[in-house]
Structure 1
Amino acid sequence: MNPEALKALGLNDEQIKGTMVLYGKDLNPLKEQVTSLTTERDAAKAQVTTVTGQLDQLQKDHKSDSELKAEIDKLKEANTQAEKDAAAQLNQVKLDSATNLALLQSGALNAKAVTALLNKDTLKLDDKGNLTGLDDQLKALKEADDSKFLFKTADPADKKPNSPQITPPGNPNADPAGGTSMVDKIAARLAGKTI
């Protein structure tokens, strides 16, 4: 879905903007999920490739049993560390996605610029996957003179003026008292009758 396709359907600019905002709200969580799953998949592929290569190398370098056991223990430690690194990377992707989504929902005009002003050390995901530590920072940024311009404002003065009301051509309420309309009077006069 893009603005040009919506314009071709006959929507005006405000309708297109509203539609794209709603579309973004539905699409952003799905993008976050795809990013998260892609990161998990790539980490798993890398781990499988590493383990397979290590096992192949062990078979080639098969030494005495004590040396083999020591090598296997080293590989187990390396694999455990690789799992921890993959989990940390996935957690960071989830944290970044949740932060970007929260910034968009809070009215940030440029998520990258606002992210640069955040103290990322205080941002955490709780057990349920909810972002904590962002609300106070956003409030401070929205109130500070040097950063409040990075957010949409709800000030009515910032809104576009109301568009004029357009009425159909002619006089839609020609005779509010319910008498004979001007059209009827003209038709009668042309017919030679008097009203």
Structure 2
Amino acid sequence: MKAEFLKGLGLEQDVVDKIMAENGKDVAAEQAKTTKAEGERDNYKDQLATATESLEKFKDVDPAAMQSEIENLNKQLKDKDEEYAAKEADRIFSDTVKEAIKSAGGRNEKAVMAMLDMEALKASKNQSEDIKKALETVKESDAYLFGSDEPFMNAVGATGGSADVGGDNLSAIRAAMGLPTNK
């Protein structure tokens, strides 16, 4: 609305100014709404451009191939978990056998383990009992792999007699060596 239009209607200048001020408020409010809507529109345009650009990166991607790759990676992960579990089970079994060998008095763990049927023991349902039985069998057939329970018959210390051979120890040592005593 223009001020000349209102003056042409025969309104006084004071009334025209008031009408124009009120109209200006309405126009300013509408301009603010328009500016806000244009800002939102520009924001949506930027988001659309960014999304379109991101989608362009995936333009040549085959979803079926990607799904196949995901399934392949999941299978590899499962295989690694199973491999780790098998290695851990082997380690625990090996430690159990070594401990049993040690408690049975085995001198060399590797040598005794070579005499055992490890696969049969590993597949056994009652491993601890079967390991003990297998160790007893090896102990009977190859006793040299195990420590002896018999006491040593070799004397290490003095076997009797007196330690003092008369006088000082130096003369006793000289006499044992066949040398004349030193006076």
TM-score by length of 2: 0.48
In terms of fraction of residues, the more helix-rich structure is 2
Larger Rg: 2
TM-score by length of 1: 0.45
